[in-house]
Amino acid sequence: MSEELVIEHCSPTLAGIKTGNMFTVGIEDGTDIKSEIRELNNVLRKRGLRVILFKETSKYALVYIYRPDYLKKDLSDPHAYVILKNKGYDCSCPEFCIVQLVRHLKEDDIFPHEIGLFLGYPPSDVEKFMKDPCKGVKCCGCWKVYSEPDKAKRIFNRFNRCTEVYKKMNKMGKSLAQLAVITDKNVTG
């Protein structure tokens, strides 16, 4: 999996301005995606990030890169907590929630739209999308927005600018490890 692919899809998370991103990687014959994820984790763990294989098929892998400290804060939001509890999640720790989400992605026929909570989307927008994805949409970007469209547009613009800057910096020679900022001074290798 190339640095360019990770930067294209995960720059806001690498920059510390978003909880997480997910993206799809095409699987070619002989690709050892689990080994690639281990290598990526070795690079990004030192910067306070984690990489998880959400789902793998013979043709693609769904990869999740996130900041555990941000996810813990997001999932402790009372509104997010209620959404996950109502979907049957054990909310005692974010890692349990991730394990359950991975299980839903692998086993359920219906896509688990609560996944937006793991990407840093506002719980109110996630809930409204889950109830009726077409009703009341005020704008679209990284997610469908049902409330606070002006705030969401500013966030979308910030994410887009971040991605463009990171792509330019990578072309100028900055590595993924150099681009991934440390947001918690207590993070160690």
- Dump pLDDT digits (tens) for 105-130: 999 889 999 999 999 999 999 999 99
In a domain, residue 105? The reply is yes
Spatial contact of 91 and 72, defined as CB atoms under 8 Å apart: no
The answer to whether residue 164 is domain-embedded is yes
Q: List the domain range (segments joined by +) for residue 89.
A: 3-172
One DSSP character per residue, 28-64 reads -TT--HHHHHHHHHHHHGGGT-EEEEEEE-SSEEEEE
DSSP 8-state symbol, 113:
G
Residue 24 falls inside a structural domain: yes
* pLDDT score at 184: 60
Q: Is 7 within 8 Å of 167 (Cβ atoms)?
A: yes
Q: What is the pLDDT of residue 185?
A: 46
**How many structural domains is the chain composed of?**
1
pLDDT at 91: 87
Domain-located, residue 15 = yes
Does residue 71 sit within a domain? Answer: yes
pTM over the 0.75 mark? yes
Encode pLDDT of 70-100 as tens digits.
Answer: 999 999 999 999 999 999 999 889 999 999 9
3-state secondary structure at position 105: helix
Report if residue 185 sits inside a domain: no
Residue 103 belongs to a domain: yes
Look at residue 180 and tell me if it is in a domain: no
